[in-house]
């Protein structure tokens, strides 16, 4: 039954077509063909562009990490980008070793060395003040301060040592080390603040001078802490994993 109906319908269509003027019928078919072909072409182009964009994106992502890993300066900038004081981070690390291996862990270790140098130099500065001070109260507070800064420097040295303790072929950083280093650097920052609080309580006349002298080391420690806290994100930027 159905096929007969279809045939009937076909016949109807045919007769309807037959009634339309000849040139109309000739124009309609190429139109449908053109619409179909151009739809297919459009779809192909769209798909091609989409795939092209995806390929391009993944290849630029790859080359971004690659270029980070091929330049010391770029890699130091990338690591320092997670800190609050990006300029002091970049300058201090690259003045310590401008051709450091472009590896986030090596750069982080250098940032800790920057802290060691600055804090131990600060402690020497305060020791000198103790010697030259002739006010007994201030002398006591300065002595305590120098002791605190020496403790801080030794915590920072421990942090560097923890990174060096990796065996051959072993990566320096583990979650545990990161957590320890964070604790030690935070404690070193607290030591330094306690030093300044002590001088302030004693009404020391050299308070502002010491505060100025230690402002750089506070910045450097804050930089190291920021890098440490965001080490996973930094490693991702380099397309490297935590070990």
Ligand X SMILES: *[C@@H]1O[C@H](CO)[C@@H](O)[C@H](O)[C@H]1NC(C)=O
Q: How far is the CB of 127 from ligand X (least distance, A)?
A: 11
- Could you tell me if 156 and 117 are in contact, meaning their C-beta atoms sit under 8 angstroms apart? no
Q: Report how far apart, in Å, the C-alpha atoms of 163 and of each of 53, 106, 120 are.
A: 41, 9, 19
Tell me which residues touch ligand X (CB under 6 A). Answer: 97, 99-101, 106, 117, 121, 125
Name the residue nearer to ligand X (CB basis): 14 or 215.
215
Q: How far is the CB of 95 from ligand X (least distance, A)?
A: 10
Name the residue nearer to ligand X (CB basis): 81 or 125.
125
Q: How far is the CB of 90 from ligand X (least distance, A)?
A: 16
Name the residue nearer to ligand X (CB basis): 92 or 204.
92
Name the residue nearer to ligand X (CB basis): 101 or 200.
101
Nearest to 120 by CA among 16, 186, 216, 4: 216
Q: How far is the CB of 99 from ligand X (least distance, A)?
A: 5
Phi/psi zone of residue 239: left (φ > 0), alpha (ψ -120 to 50 degrees), beta?
left
Name the residue nearer to ligand X (CB basis): 3 or 95.
95
Q: Report how far apart, in Å, the C-alpha atoms of 203 and of each of 208, 212, 213, 238 are.
A: 11, 16, 17, 49
- Could you tell me if 110 and 97 are in contact, meaning their C-beta atoms sit under 8 angstroms apart? yes
DSSP class of 133: -
**CA–CA distance, 215 with 219 (Å, rounded to integer):** 6
């Amino acid at each position: 039954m159905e096929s007969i109906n279809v045939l009937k319908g076909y016949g109807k269509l045919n007769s309807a077509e037959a009634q339309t003027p000849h040139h109309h019928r000739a124009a309609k078919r190429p139109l449908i063909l053109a619409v179909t072909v151009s739809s297919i072409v459009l779809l192909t182009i769209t798909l091609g562009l989409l795939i092209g964009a995806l390929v391009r994106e993944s290849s630029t992502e790859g080359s971004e990490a690659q270029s980070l890993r091929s330049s010391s300066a770029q890699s130091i900038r990338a690591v320092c980008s997670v800190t609050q004081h990006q300029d002091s981070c970049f300058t201090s690390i690259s003045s310590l070793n401008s051709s450091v291996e472009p590896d986030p862990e090596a750069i982080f270790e250098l940032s800790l060395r920057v802290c060691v140098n600055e804090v131990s130099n600060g402690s020497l500065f305060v020791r000198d003040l103790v010697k030259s001070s002739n006010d007994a109260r201030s002398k006591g507070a300065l002595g305590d301060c120098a002791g605190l800064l020496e403790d801080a420097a030794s915590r920072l040295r421990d942090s560097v040592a923890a990174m060096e303790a990796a065996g051959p072929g072993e990566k320096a950083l583990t979650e545990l080390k990161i957590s320890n280093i964070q604790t030690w650097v935070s404690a070193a920052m607290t030591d330094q603040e306690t030093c300044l609080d002590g001088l302030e309580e004693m009404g020391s006349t050299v308070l502002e001078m010491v505060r100025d002298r230690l402002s750089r080391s506070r910045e450097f420690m804050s930089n190291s802490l920021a890098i440490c806290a965001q080490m996973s994100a930094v490693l991702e930027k380099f397309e490297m994993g935590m070990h």
